[in-house]
Chains A and B, each alone.
Chain A
Amino acid sequence: MTELTELGAAAAARAIHAREIDAGELFEAYRERAGADELNAFTWVAEGPPPPTDPAAPLAGVPLAVKDLFCTEGIPSQAGSRILEGYRPPYTATVVENLTGAGVTLLGKTNQDEFAMGSSNENSAFGPVLNPWDRGRVPGGSSGGSAAAVAAGLAPWAIGTDTGGSIRQPASLCGVVGVKPTYGACSRWGMIAFASSLDQAGPLARDVTDAALLLSHMVGHDRRDSTSVALPEPITLPTAEDLTGIRLGVPEELLAGGDDGAGIEPGVRESFEATLALAEGLGATIDTCRLPHAPHALSAYYLIAPAEASANLARYDGVRYGLRVGGEEDLATMYTRTRGEGFGAEVKRRIMLGTYALSSGYYDAYYGQALKVRTKIADDFRAAFARFDFIATPTSPWTAFELGSKADDPLAMYLNDFCTVPMPLAGIPALSIPSGCSDGLPVGFQLAGPAFSENPLLQAAHALERAIGFDGSQVRA
């Protein structure tokens, strides 16, 4: 690790502003590291001379890693899928444009589970990403490339997307900070869609301050995304050092873990409880709270997300872009061969689930029912936030698991998202910070707040982060 790349992103931006370091040199240092990536975190790394930067811009030329599913003009954007082989979009996602407008330079595109469907990054057409803490283990997913790149110091920060936990869970498994903002805070224009009513962009960073800084330049209403909204106030850099007066609710339903004995791992529970004790020491009050419908969140999620995905992914038909297999025979055969060879197993599974859930005669029993559960979950959170400022849970029930260990058991894989899925269903913001290690692997601590509570959430996370004192520098070496 050079001195340059050991600087956090916010610190690097300050150093560039002060002309203590040169943005071009910083870019070269990261490009060298990203180019030597042994984790398969990147699917594309910038070539040629460093892009021109404006040292006066807020983000001053600090390089950024971008999840593959963000469209970047003229640069491969495949969402981790073979079906978009060779696809270079004619336009750039709003979030990426906002960030380059604020001065970041595009370092590379990061590997991910295909179309953001997965919790291990094993579902990528580019192969799995390895966890920098233990290369025999998964980095989590779907933003596994972004999380691993930040954890290993291949990038100062990165952006990812979260649909059911795809920022927070890999952040947890890789020991970095990940934020899923309120639905609508970041424009989805140019984000290759998985489940439109849940997808949200967010930052992955080494610490809460960097995450806040990156997020502050991502958000904003975009007239090209009707579901985007302006935050009531700008995102500010957190400074809180204590949690005086903060009421934390611990939902017993989520602490129980999922059914089938897939509860919270002891090491994870231990780290979680230690963090609660720290929070109490910082002045927070802690009590159990009820989210009665939260245990049904996973079921609702695995109907709603695949249903939307089944429509969102129907456009990949080989007619206009990306992969086409055959084409000399009739149309249906070309469709079938292209989609058969272009999509991976998990994507096909979800397309089939979603198609079934929306089918005539089944809609009410599945999709319709799931929408009702979704409303109930949002109601649960509203009720909880009347008593508590934030809800606290472990981010993932487990630490990073071994590559291949859950690949053949989709239900066990889905349980990864047990604690992260309720929040996107309710559209509320949540973040994950490293709370320590269990058997040498990082554990994540999740905080969720009401809609548009990003600033208070980041403040609380900042105070906790200081108290926890997590050190991830060893994997950046």
Chain B
Amino acid sequence: MSSSYEPVIGLEIHVQLRTRTKMFCGCELSFGDPPNVHCCPVCLGLPGALPVVNAAAVDFAVRIGLALGSEIAPRSLFHRKNYFYPDSPKAYQISQYDVPICSGGCLGDVRIHRVHLEEDAAKLVHIGSSGRIHGSDRSVVDFNRCGTPLVEIVTEPDLRSPEQAHEFLTVLRTTLRQLEVSDVNMEEGSLRCDANVSIRPVGSARLGTKTELKNMNSFRFLQRGIRAEIVRQQELVAAGEPVVQETLHFDPVSERLTSLRSKEEAHDYRYFPEPDLVPLLVTPEMRAAAAERVPELPTDRARRFEAELGLRPGTARDLAFRRELSDYFERAVAADAGATPVEVANWIPQLVERIGSAADPAQSRVGPEALATLAALVAAKRVSRDAGREVLTTLVAEGGDPQAIVEREGLGTLSDDDGDGLAALVDSALAADPDAAAKVAQGNMKAIGPLVGYVMRESKGRADGGEVTRLIRERLAEQV
């Protein structure tokens, strides 16, 4: 990969809104129902039928706009986007064009260009061979999906790597889920993403010729598709060939990019204002109602975790971008068991590792208070870190109180006042490795490692490393 060129990536994300009914008619939304049961004259495009805007979809779009910090247009317009295809029963899609409902905003450090409302197309099912249109025997249409409300979220070309694109989508998905506006499920098609990709010399402000990768159906494929396209463009440039503006399809199996259409074949959508609809007005009341439904969003929560709870940025994001983790974390902190938020946060990955990365910790046997107590015990050095992990394993399996488990299993930290257990172990360590003991006695602290290791091993992890070190030095000092 030539390092003198940098990728420039922008995303167009289609999100199906989880309203009860469709964008312009009263048909119910569905997924997985028998084909063509949720349709009416409007979504079938029958002669004489007229669209009526779904107020809930407008509310959801405003919610999204507010969450992204967009400007909400008090008056926006619907346009007709004309194209012939059997998935479009009117032969035009009602969408927004020059005056979208939301403009500007950002998510993290990626700027949002616009967010607009539109309707989804019907689903074409190609029968035979690959399931793709080429080589199929025939195609059938399912209008259940036709007219489902969509928002299209368009970013500015602010992304610089496939990984960043993946990261952005992850945050966006969490955000939309928290807004309760969509199922945001890529497999079911409620979240779909196109990527515009170009490359340019590092330091250049000019954008190169872009290509568009269409409809990638998982975050992973999206990342791989973008990576493949960057490589392809860099190879073209290296060979002195121009990048041609075209729409591409990425085949995740073969990792190959194939051209769907070139710029010359691009559609002329002949946009014009939809005469069947009046301008879309968003009143201050509608805006206020939507604002009430915008909770604290992942990026804000991560910022708060850093600023108020002292978490490191990486930890803050890992927690904040998964709502169930951050909710659980906050409950554990609220339990106020004696551990700092940072100490509590450090136990969350341990818990996730034990319950599985997709599980909700709130559904596990480990209550947030129990985790907080465990963190406090370890922080107070009453349980060693290793022993603490054992306690957590027991908690995950059986639930219960960490303190009780520690007592029952005898996992409490060995200390010098704990009979002569720890003192005795230290003595055996000094006896077992007199060379090391001598070096430490002469001031070579590097030699203390094997001695500490011996004690830890013999105590099966119950000893506290700091305490062991202190005791070793104390004993050696006595010997001098």
Contact = CB atoms under 8 A, between A and B. Distances in A.
Contacts of A465: none
Given A227-B276, A307-B272, A89 B47 contact: yes
Interface stretch (A27-35, A190-198, A235-243, A244-252): A190-198
Given A226-B278, A363-B272, A71 B47 contact: yes
Nearest to B267: A360
B48 A89 contact: yes
B244 interface: no
Given A311-B82, A319-B86, A226 B53 contact: yes
A189 interface: yes
A33 B243 CA distance: 72
A367 B275 CA distance: 13
Interface string A77-112: 101000010010111010000000000000000000
Contacts of B90: 311, 314-315
Nearest to A77: B47
A275 to B, nearest CB: 35
A22 interface: no
Of B46, B50, B52, B82, chain A has the most CB atoms within 10 Å of the CB of B50
A226 B91 contact: no
A190 B48 contact: yes
Interface in A295-316: 307-308, 310-311, 314-315
A443 B186 CA distance: 66
Interface residues of B, number: 28
A308 B46 contact: no
A335 B272 contact: no
A308 B275 contact: yes
A320 B89 contact: yes
Contacts of A355: 270
Contact of B50 (A70, A77, A226): A226
The majority secondary structure among interface residues of chain B is loop
A446 B272 CA distance: 32
Nearest to A189: B50
A191 B91 contact: no
A189 B52 CA distance: 11
A36 interface: no
A191 B46 CA distance: 11
Nearest to B42: A224
Contacts of B53: 226
A358 interface: yes
B101 to A, nearest CB: 16
B114 interface: no
Interface string A180-201: 0000000011111101110000
A335 B48 contact: no
B281 to A, nearest CB: 12
Contacts of B86: 317, 319, 331
A225 interface: yes
Contacts of B92: 311, 314
B89 A315 contact: yes
A90 B270 contact: no
A223 B82 contact: no
Nearest to B143: A320
Interface residues of A, number: 43
Interface string A52-76: 0000000000000000011100000
Interface string B44-62: 1111111111000000000
Contact of B270 (A196, A317, A331, A359): A359
B268 interface: yes
A191 B48 contact: yes
A414 interface: no
A44 interface: no
B80 interface: yes
A315 B91 contact: yes
Interface in B293-319: none
Contacts of B49: 189-190
A321 interface: yes
A189 B48 contact: yes
Contacts of B271: 358
Interface string A221-232: 001111100000
Contact of B44 (A69, A79, A191, A320): A320
Contacts of A310: 82, 270
B46 A90 contact: yes
Nearest to B268: A360
Nearest to B139: A331
A314 B51 contact: no
Interface in B80-108: 80, 82, 84, 86, 89-92
Contacts of A311: 80, 82, 90-92, 270, 272
Contacts of A192: 47-48
A245 to B, nearest CB: 36
A314 B91 CA distance: 6
Contacts of A227: 275-278
B277 A226 contact: yes
Contact of B275 (A84, A89, A196, A363): A196
Given A226-B276, A355-B270, A358-B272, A314 B47 contact: no
Contacts of A314: 82, 84, 90-92
Contacts of A93: 48
A227 B41 CA distance: 18
Interface in B243-274: 268, 270-272
A358 B272 CA distance: 7
A225 B42 CA distance: 11
Closest 3 CB pairs of A and B: A314-B91, A197-B275, A196-B275
Given A226-B51, A315-B90, 9 more contacts: A69-B48, A193-B48, A195-B275, A225-B276, A226-B53, A227-B275, A314-B92, A321-B46, A359-B270
13 contacts: A77-B47, A93-B48, A188-B48, A188-B50, A190-B48, A191-B48, A225-B50, A226-B276, A226-B278, A315-B47, A358-B270, A358-B271, A359-B268
Interface of A: 69-71, 77, 79, 84, 87, 89-91, 93, 188-193, 195-197, 223-227, 307-308, 310-311, 314-315, 317, 319-321, 331, 335, 355, 358-360, 363, 367
